[in-house]
Amino acid sequence: MFVKKFGTMHQPYKIYTYAMEKNERLFFTTMLELAQNTLEVSWVLDENAPDFIVVDVDQPDGKAYWQAHQAENNLIAVAPQNTFNAPWFLEKPIKIRTLADLLKRISIESPKESEPGLAVTNHDISNFFEELASDTKSDDVFEPSLYLSGLLKNAQQSGQPQRFSLGSLAPLYVLPEQHCCFYKAIDFSNLTPTQKVFYKVKITQIEQQPMTAEAINSAVQTEGLRKYPINTFLWASSLYASNGRLLAYFSLDTPVRLKQWPDLSLLAHDSTHFRVAAFMLKNTVKLATVAAETQVELAAVFNFFNACMLTQLIETEGTDTVTDIRVKNTPPSHSNKHSLFKNILKRLTG
């Protein structure tokens, strides 16, 4: 697996502290040792030639050091709050998970030079990102607040413009008051595995940065970003982070109906979504029935349903309104038309 290879093909990262009080430094050392257990890349303390320096900017010496050296891009600010808008920041008091996440992110964004003959390929990077997102498989239900979908919902509620980023992937800018996001040109119908990871990882992996609307507009101009409805990203995150799991707190026994077609020309989708949408628009049924009648896997139905639910396209109904599927018979003319349409699609998609 790539992650293990990633650790062995690189020299250990060297890290040290600056302006930390003795007890704080001891605490950091302990935290680093504990965090090390969750990392695949080695991090060692090295006072003489550190690759990264953890600077306590809460201390006068640390603040002065930060101001003098921040352009060198190898500083990690540590403080109760990120008042310097440091790209690499560690919140006090230091927590193992926070430290581990930061070190993992640094190892992605600033990989050390590979040993000769072991260049990292795009495929390797893709696998690495997949690994990063793989912990979604361990939970039984989909809890949207743990993913980008939760961050977007929070942004919508707070109205705070924000920048979300993950490793070397393009950042996402959100302007909630204008109900829009800004992102590089992206084709949601052809996302690469690496691009999908942004929508799958938990929020602990995603860097959040509050911004002003003016700063976002400036980034849009300089980076040549495109405007998207927030729902396009909310949808993508719900669809991919669901990973075959049903939305938390939703009962499988609840009959549901689709209120309207999702705009699948804008939204991430696959060919099964058309069938599921057409069926759910016409019938008020339980999700197991949707899967059975459309012959789409239940896990895929859950993914589609969760995305529809998060973008408010679902109506839940009482059991007395459930459509009786048994009384429906497809007229021969419909079967004939369906067959013709399938031929057309086959011809067009090769």
Partner 1 sequence: MKEIKLVFTGSMGAGKTTAISTISETPVINTDVITTDEVVQRKETTTVALDYGELSLDETQKLKLYGTPGQERFEYMWPILIKGALGLIILVDHASTDPLNDLALFVRYFKPYIEETATVIGVTRTDLGSGPSMQAYHDYLQKQGLQLPVFTVDARSREHVIIMLQALTAMVEFA
Which stretch, 44-52, 64-72, 170-178, 279-287, contacts partner 1 (CB under 8 A)? 279-287
Question: Closest by alpha carbon to 128, among 314, 2, 272, 285?
Answer: 2
Residue 347 interacts with partner 1 (CB under 8 A)? yes
Q: For the CB of residue 182, give the shortest distance to partner 1 in the complex, in Å.
A: 14
At position 243, the amino acid (one-letter code) is: N
Buried b (16+ CB within 10 A) or exposed e, 53-66: bbbbbbbeebbebb
332-to-183, 203, 327, 338 alpha-carbon distances in Å? 47, 50, 16, 10
Tell me which of 70, 160, 170, 274 binds partner 1, using CB under 8 A. Answer: 274
Dist CA 83 CA 67 (whole Å): 12
Strands 52-56 and 43-45, how do they pair? unpaired
Which stretch, 129-137, 165-173, 265-273, 299-307, contacts partner 1 (CB under 8 A)? 265-273
Question: Closest by alpha carbon to 12, among 47, 40, 35, 53?
Answer: 40
Site residues for partner 1, 111-130, by CB under 8 A, read none
Dist CA 43 CA 65 (whole Å): 23
Question: Taking CB under 8 A as the rule, which mask of x and - marks residues 51-80 in contact with partner 1?
Answer: ------------------------------
Q: For the CB of residue 261, give the shortest distance to partner 1 in the complex, in Å.
A: 4
Residue 185 interacts with partner 1 (CB under 8 A)? no
Dist CA 270 CA 323 (whole Å): 26
Strands 75-79 and 52-56, how do they pair? parallel
Q: For the CB of residue 229, give the shortest distance to partner 1 in the complex, in Å.
A: 8
Residue 271 interacts with partner 1 (CB under 8 A)? yes
Q: For the CB of residue 313, give the shortest distance to partner 1 in the complex, in Å.
A: 10
Residue 266 interacts with partner 1 (CB under 8 A)? yes
Q: For the CB of residue 130, give the shortest distance to partner 1 in the complex, in Å.
A: 26
Residue 109 interacts with partner 1 (CB under 8 A)? no
| Binding region for partner 1 (CB under 8 A) | 189, 260-261, 263-266, 271, 274-275, 277-279, 281-283, 294, 330, 334, 337-338, 340-345, 347-349
